[in-house]
C-alpha cells in the first residue's frame, strides 16, 4: 500500500506528533491524518494549526481504519500503549513510535501478534520547548530518522514507513535497538547531562560570584540550550536508557579527568595534542555534513 492510500493515526499531539501531523497535512501525502488528544484546548490548537484532518478523544475510534499508527508519547508511555492498544488496531496495521530509546520498545513490539506490523522509530530532532504550539512542519527536514524493524516485520511495512519519513523531508537510518540506544546516549542523552551540569556549575558559582551571569553569552547559551528542555521527557529518557547513559557519563568523567591531569601537570604539549584532535574531529562533522 502507498502512503497516499493510508489513514495515519497519531497518538500524542505535542511537539513531535504535532509536527508530524502538520507536515503530512501540508503535503496532502496521505488519505487522512488523525490526531488523538484528551484535552479540548489541545484539540482546538490541533485544528487551528492544521496538525490533523480530524481530532479524536477516543482511542478505539482513532485506531479503527488506520493503516499506520504513530505513538508520539513519552518513552515509558509508549511501552504501555503497545501492549494495550493493539487489540483495537486493524489487521495489517503498521505500528511505529517516535521515542528516544528503542530497546524496551522493540521488546514490547516483539510480543505483538503477527497481524500487527511493528517498526520502532526515532527522528533525531526536537526543541527545548514542548507542546502542540511549538510544533513545526519543517522540524524533520534534513534530519535523520532511525528505523528499527523487528525480525518479523514485513518489508512492505518498512517501505511504507520509509515513504512517510521521506515525505516529511527526513533521511532513513536503519539500525538495531542496542546500537541505537548506545549511540543516542552518547550524542543526545549525554549532551543533556553535560548541558545541565554546565548550568548547575554556573548556578553554584554565581552564588558567590554573581558576575557569572553578567558574562554568560553565546558560548554558554549554545552549549546549555538543551538544559531548558522538558523535564518529564528527559527523565523518561534517562531512566529508560540508564545503563548506556551511565556508561557515557563515565566516559565523559574520564575525559574531564584527563583535562584536569594535563592542566595539573602543566603538560601543554599533551593538552595541545588533545585539543587539536578534538578540533579536527568536530570539524570533520561539518565537512561530512553529519548535522
Give strand ranges (E) for 140-263.
Answer: 144-149, 171-174
Q: How many Cα atoms are found within 13 Å in the side-chain-facing hemisphere of 15?
A: 16
pTM of the model: 0.92
Judge if 83 and 222 occupy the same domain.
no
State the Cα torsion 246-83-155-147 to the nearest 10°.
-30
Give strand ranges (E) for the chain.
Answer: 7-11, 32-36, 54-56, 68-71, 94-97, 117-123, 144-149, 171-174
Residue with the bigger pLDDT between 38 and 61: it is 61
CA distance 241 to 250: 14
Q: How high is the pLDDT of residue 291? A: 82
Judge if 170 and 201 occupy the same domain.
no
Judge if 97 and 122 occupy the same domain.
yes
Judge if 155 and 219 occupy the same domain.
no
CA angle at 181 for the pair 158 and 231, rounded to the nearest 5°: 110
Residue 43 pLDDT > 90: no
- pLDDT per residue as tens digits for the range 257-282: 999 999 999 999 999 999 999 999 99
Please, which residues have CB within 8 angstroms of residue 62's CB and are 6 or more apart in sequence? 9, 11, 34, 35, 36, 56
Strands of the sheet containing 54-56, edge to edge, are 54-56, 32-36, 7-11, 68-71, 94-97, 117-123, 144-149, 171-174
Strands 171-174 and 68-71, sheet pairing: unpaired
Question: How many independent structural domains does the chain possess?
Answer: 2
Strands 68-71 and 144-149, sheet pairing: unpaired
Confidence of residue 289 (pLDDT cuts 50, 70, 90): confident
Identify the CATH number of the domain in which residue 68 sits.
Answer: 3.40.50.720
Q: How high is the pLDDT of residue 290? A: 83
Judge if 32 and 154 occupy the same domain.
yes
Q: How high is the pLDDT of residue 129? A: 86
Confidence of residue 87 (pLDDT cuts 50, 70, 90): very high
Judge if 7 and 33 occupy the same domain.
yes
Q: How high is the pLDDT of residue 268? A: 98
Residue 198 pLDDT > 90: yes
Q: How high is the pLDDT of residue 136? A: 96
Judge if 145 and 223 occupy the same domain.
no
Judge if 153 and 199 occupy the same domain.
no
- pLDDT per residue as tens digits for the range 67-83: 999 999 999 999 999 99
Domain boundary among 125, 142, 175: 175
Look up the domain containing 64 and give its range: 3-175
Place of cell 501525502: 29
- pLDDT per residue as tens digits for the range 210-269: 999 999 999 999 999 999 988 999 999 999 999 999 999 999 999 999 999 999 999 999
Residue 41 pLDDT > 90: no
CA angle at 82 for the pair 1 and 167, rounded to the nearest 5°: 35
- pLDDT per residue as tens digits for the range 162-190: 999 999 999 999 999 999 999 999 999 99
Q: How high is the pLDDT of residue 179? A: 98
Judge if 19 and 129 occupy the same domain.
yes
Question: What secondary structure, in 3-state letters, does 8-27 show?
Answer: EEEECCCHHHHHHHHHHHHH
Find, among 57, 101, 56, the residue nearest to 79 by Cα: 101
Domain boundary among 109, 144, 175: 175
Out of 32-41, 132-141, 174-183, 267-276, least confident range: 32-41
Q: What is the mean pLDDT of the chain?
A: 96
Q: How high is the pLDDT of residue 40? A: 78
Identify the CATH number of the domain in which residue 240 sits.
Answer: 1.10.3660.10
Judge if 170 and 198 occupy the same domain.
no
Find, among 72, 57, 73, 69, the residue nearest to 32 by Cα: 69
Domain boundary among 138, 153, 175: 175
Judge if 57 and 150 occupy the same domain.
yes
Q: How far is CA 158 from the centre of its chain?
A: 19
Confidence of residue 42 (pLDDT cuts 50, 70, 90): confident
Judge if 46 and 139 occupy the same domain.
yes
- pLDDT more than 90, % of the chain: 92
Residue 100 pLDDT > 90: yes
Amino acid at each position: 500500500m502507498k502512503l497516499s492510500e493510508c489513514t495515519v493515526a497519531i497518538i500524542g499531539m505535542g511537539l513531535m506528533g504535532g509536527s508530524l501531523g502538520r507536515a503530512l497535512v501540508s503535503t496532502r501525502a496521505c488519505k487522512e491524518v488523525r490526531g488523538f488528544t484528551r484535552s479540548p484546548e489541545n484539540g482546538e490548537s490541533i485544528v487551528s494549526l492544521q496538525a490533523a484532518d480530524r481530532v479524536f478523544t477516543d482511542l478505539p475510534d482513532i485506531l479503527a481504519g488506520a493503516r499506520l499508527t504513530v505513538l508520539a508519547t513519552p518513552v515509558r508511555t509508549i511501552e504501555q500503549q503497545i501492549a494495550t492498544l493493539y487489540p483495537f488496531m486493524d489487521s495489517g496495521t503498521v505500528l511505529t513510535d517516535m521515542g528516544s530509546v528503542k530497546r524496551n520498545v522493540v521488546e514490547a513490539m516483539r510480543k505483538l501478534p503477527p497481524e500487527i506490523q511493528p517498526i520502532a522509530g526515532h527522528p533525531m530532532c526536537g526543541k527545548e520547548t514542548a507542546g502542540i504550539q511549538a510544533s513545526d512542519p519543517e522540524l524533520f527536514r534534513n534530519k535523520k530518522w532511525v528505523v528499527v524493524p523487528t525480525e518479523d516485520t514485513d518489508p512492505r511495512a518498512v517501505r511504507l514507513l520509509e515513504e512517510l519519513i521521506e515525505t516529511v523531508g527526513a533521511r532513513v537510518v536503519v539500525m538495531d535497538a542496542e546500537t541505537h540506544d548506545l549511540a543516542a546516549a552518547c550524542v543526545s542523552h549525554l549532551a543533556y547531562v553535560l548541558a545541565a551540569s554546565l548550568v548547575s556549575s554556573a548556578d553554584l558559582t554565581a552564588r558567590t560570584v554573581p558576575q557569572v551571569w553578567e558574562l554568560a553569552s553565546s558560548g554558554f547559551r549554545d552549549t546549555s540550550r538543551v538544559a531548558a528542555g522538558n523535564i518529564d521527557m528527559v527523565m523518561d529518557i534517562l531512566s529508560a536508557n540508564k545503563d548506556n547513559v551511565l556508561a557515557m557519563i563515565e566516559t565523559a568523567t574520564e575525559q574531564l579527568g584527563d583535562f584536569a591531569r594535563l592542566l595539573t601537570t602543566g603538560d601543554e604539549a599533551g593538552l595541545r595534542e588533545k585539543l587539536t584532535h578534538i578540533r579536527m574531529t568536530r570539524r570533520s562533522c561539518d565537512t561530512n555534513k553529519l548535522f
